[in-house]
Amino acid sequence: DEEFDELCFEFGLELDEITSEKDIISKEKGKEKAKGASDVVLYKIDVPANRYDLLCLEGLVRGLQVFKERINLPRYEKIIPGEGEGQKLIITEQTVQIRPHAVAAILRNITFTKDRYDSFIDLQEKLHQNICRKRALVAIGTHDLDTISGPFTFTAKPPSEIKFKPLNQSQEYTASQIMDLYRTDSHLRHYLPLIENKPRYPIIYDSNGVVLSMPPIINGDHTKITLNTRNVFIECTGTDITKAKIVLDIIVTMFSEYCEKPFTVEAVEVVYPNGKTHIYPELAYRTEKVKPEHINKKIGISETPSSLAKLLTRMCLKSHVTGNGNQIEIEIPPTRADIIHACDIVEDAAIAYGYNNIQMVIPKTYTIANQLPLNKLAELLRHDLAAAGFTEALTFALCSQEDIADKLGMDISATNAVRIANPKTAEFQVARTTLLPGLLKTIAANRKMPLPLKLFEISDIVVKDPNTDVGARNYRHLCAIYYNKSPGFEIIHGLLDRVMQLLEVPPNEENGYTIKAAEGTAFFPGRCAEVFAKGQSIGKLGVLHPDVITKFELTMPCSALEINIEPFV
């Protein structure tokens, strides 16, 4: 186990835990339920989301074997059948509005065992969840080719005209009945909204009108794969052609090792509505050139070009040195759709070299980091506000529209708040424009605590600002609140004086701070003052309006101070 853990780490993976079916069930459902479950050891391995080629045992083992230099990387080959012998998939124009793309391939003379079959189904499921974005971008269908006859047609029909027997069901249903049937299915119900409200549903037929599948929901029962299946027809339909090609490439490269001629795939001709044709799978190999010094410099090592080429070959990127040793030519196999840029190649070289083997050095540029002045000021103020007897609170930066507008007696349009486009909950609809609601909610949650409650927070608020590149701006605010049987305005006023004393701002008009009577919707009339400093208004203090207090489910009077501390940096 330790050796395997070490190997995974060297290969850039993480062995998450070593467990068994019994352990998993007993953890989730208790020991009683786990009786009779398997004790076979299971490795739970974390695979990076971009490495689709490691999502099944076949790909993972192949990758590790190449990494350990026990086998050479196989060469994937597509076999194009002779004229008139190959299979065709014809796409009609009815699909354009719903799922316009389809690709297909055939695995000939494949031998399944129980484990291989399970792995084959499992890989499709993992791809569906990952690159296929829960089947929204691509849906995979695999069929027993010997039960059907080509050419195949991918079209779209009104749900009432579609009728077939879905996978593992005992009778035929229309498409509308199928939707109702799977509405309660824990696994398939998540995919129904993808086509549910469309006037036509995508469907694939063979030449005799047998239904292969209704993507992205379910395959037909007629074509289901068993352990005796010898020839597998794979179709991927979707809204994103690039992803569909990648998914098809991954499935055929992973499982072609079980074909009679290992690593060969039979091609299928796809005919588009405009009459054009294309052969899939593409299984495209391409070459990239990278300078060895570029790799060395980026990683911080000094390897020879030939040893860099060897490192990359171990990572399934067959490489050799060209020219007079100043270029490495790398062949990207169809399994590695994640190699998009030279930096992906550099990363693989670093993994093969071993992150732990890279020497740590002091950076060439000699710079000394310093705390951001605004953060330093906020830290200093926090200590002194705590020393003044106030307790620090840390509240969410997002809140509901009511919190910053209705409850404070303001209109939402006047707050200039930044809205979240699709909020998960009503509590997180906008970014806060004031710290006051957060502190009032904190007091509401702590009403059982002995009075007085004295809280403060120094954090950022966010307001819209069309003059910035992102359309919004942050301001660092200080907010303090005093909650007791009497309003305690003098305590909050005293805190303001203490803050100004710490900031060395004298109480005068010329170069110091002053307070002037003002009106604020959240404050009691005649009990609100505006604070001016450095020639500008920096905030307000006062006794909160009874309406505000009751809207936050509080019962006692409360006074508050909120100022912007950025002018004092």
Percent of the chain with pLDDT over 70: 100
- Contact by Cβ (8 Å): 433, 411: no
Q: How far apart are CA 452 and CA 25, in angstroms?
A: 50
**Domain annotation covers residue 68:** no
Q: Are residues 431 and 301 in the same domain?
A: no
Quick: pLDDT tens for 194-245: 888 889 999 999 999 899 999 889 999 999 999 999 999 999 999 999 999 9
Q: What is the CATH number of the domain that holds 270?
A: 3.50.40.10
Q: Is the pLDDT of residue 299 over 80?
A: yes
Residue-level length of the chain: 569
The per-residue pLDDT for 482 is: 94
CB proximity list for 330: less than 8 A, separation 6 or greater: 287, 288, 289, 290, 312, 317, 318, 319, 345
Confidence of residue 312 (pLDDT cuts 50, 70, 90): very high
**Domains of the chain: total:** 4
Q: Is the pLDDT of residue 144 over 90?
A: yes
Q: Are residues 2 and 38 in the same domain?
A: yes
Q: Which domain holds residue 314?
A: 287-329+338-357
Q: Secondary structure of the chain: what % helix, strand, coil (to 5)?
A: 30, 30, 40
Strands 232-238 and 138-144: antiparallel
**Domain annotation covers residue 65:** no
Give the C-alpha distances (Å, rounded to integers) separating 162 from 156, 176, 322, 466.
9, 8, 58, 53
**Domain annotation covers residue 363:** no
**Domain annotation covers residue 62:** no
Confidence of residue 365 (pLDDT cuts 50, 70, 90): confident
- Contact by Cβ (8 Å): 317, 345: yes
- Contact by Cβ (8 Å): 233, 145: yes
- Contact by Cβ (8 Å): 560, 537: no
Q: Are residues 244 and 379 in the same domain?
A: no
The per-residue pLDDT for 500 is: 93
Let me know how many helices (H) and strands (E) the chain has, helices first: 15, 27
Q: Is the pLDDT of residue 150 over 80?
A: no
Give the C-alpha distances (Å, rounded to integers) separating 321 from 292, 301, 304, 334.
9, 18, 10, 21
Q: How far apart are CA 182 and CA 62, in angstroms?
A: 37
**Domain annotation covers residue 69:** no
pTM of the complete model beyond 0.85: no
Q: Are residues 404 and 451 in the same domain?
A: yes
Rounded mean pLDDT, 273-293: 93
**Domain annotation covers residue 555:** yes
Quick: pLDDT tens for 441-453: 999 999 889 989 9
The per-residue pLDDT for 288 is: 93
The per-residue pLDDT for 286 is: 93
Instruction: Name the one residue in this structure whose structure tokens are 């529209």.
Output: 401
Give the C-alpha distances (Å, rounded to integers) separating 287 from 294, 332, 335.
17, 6, 14
Secondary structure of residue 513 in the 3-state scheme:
strand
DSSP state of 37: -
The per-residue pLDDT for 416 is: 87
* Ranges of H-type helices in 145-257: 175-182, 241-255
Q: How far apart are CA 533 and CA 512, in angstroms?
A: 6
**Domain annotation covers residue 61:** no
Name which of 405, 425, 387 is nearest 551 in CA terms: 405
Q: Is the pLDDT of residue 424 over 90?
A: no
Q: Are residues 498 and 350 in the same domain?
A: no
Confidence of residue 79 (pLDDT cuts 50, 70, 90): very high
Q: Are residues 479 and 551 in the same domain?
A: yes
Q: Are residues 268 and 192 in the same domain?
A: yes
Q: How far apart are CA 373 and CA 377, in angstroms?
A: 6
Confidence of residue 309 (pLDDT cuts 50, 70, 90): very high
Q: What is the CATH number of the domain that holds 12?
A: 3.30.56.10
Q: Are residues 225 and 96 in the same domain?
A: yes
Q: Are residues 438 and 506 in the same domain?
A: yes
Q: Are residues 274 and 296 in the same domain?
A: no
**Domain annotation covers residue 183:** no
Q: Are residues 38 and 110 in the same domain?
A: no
Q: Are residues 140 and 251 in the same domain?
A: yes
Instruction: Name the one residue in this structure whose structure tokens are 């208004």.
Output: 537
Amino acid letter, 113 = T
The per-residue pLDDT for 196 is: 87
